[in-house]
Homo-oligomer: A and B are copies of this chain.
């Protein structure tokens, strides 16, 4: 029985500044079925408050505590590990780390920096890493669906570049890191087996969540989905559907009527 729902954002609820057809009504339907919802995004081109503002502009009221971003998880890790960040991130995301004090250790924090990825910025990061800094990946997605409708390189490619050059593995924070899913589930007091995720990324969202112990995972054929994705990663999705609207139908059919998680 499904009691808690994790929803990916880009490619599931919106694309750019536009809500996907039927997505907002689907979120409403899930809420009215008494299910607990959390929103889990690997977006690292916006601060958490920018994401909340975008959702609000679309007409979706989401509170700060319902939204989980990799930057938030990394901030907490940096504090616990007495680390200052050296940022290789999108200019929008810099303010998310502005108030972090100078600490004993150093970590190179890599997000989807977009145009801020260039030889000198990557080489500066490489030199910090061979000097002893920890490599931290806000996310390690391979690609995302860009504004022109085509796939573009995501942070994962650049994390892989630095891993290869330094022969060290990054600590990865967004999906598919099990801790990321667990934090969202814990916040709604939902055991993993009673939770489902809806995502357009068969690897980070779907296979990642199932590996983290979630009971089920719905792959939607929107966003970055490409034909064959449902068979490309292990474990495969529990079910593959056209859109969040169809995913909501499936989830409601598998949930106890009007029972809160």
Contact = CB atoms under 8 A, between A and B. Distances in A.
A160 B164 contact: yes
Q: For this complex, into which size category does the number of interface residues on chain A fall? A: 20 to 34
A162 B161 CA distance: 9
Interface in A139-165: 142-143, 150-154, 156-158, 160-165
A4 to B, nearest CB: 31
Given A119-B115, A119-B117, A157 B153 contact: no
A167 interface: yes
Interface string A114-126: 1111111011001
A157 B163 CA distance: 8
A130 interface: yes
A151 B122 contact: no
Contact of A142 (B115, B119, B127, B165): B165
Interface in A150-208: 150-154, 156-158, 160-167
A167 B228 CA distance: 14
A119 B118 contact: yes
Contacts of A115: 118-120
Interface in A76-134: 113-120, 122-123, 126-127, 130
| Ranked 8 nearest A-B pairs via Cβ | A160-B164, A161-B161, A157-B161, A157-B165, A118-B118, A117-B119, A142-B165, A123-B153
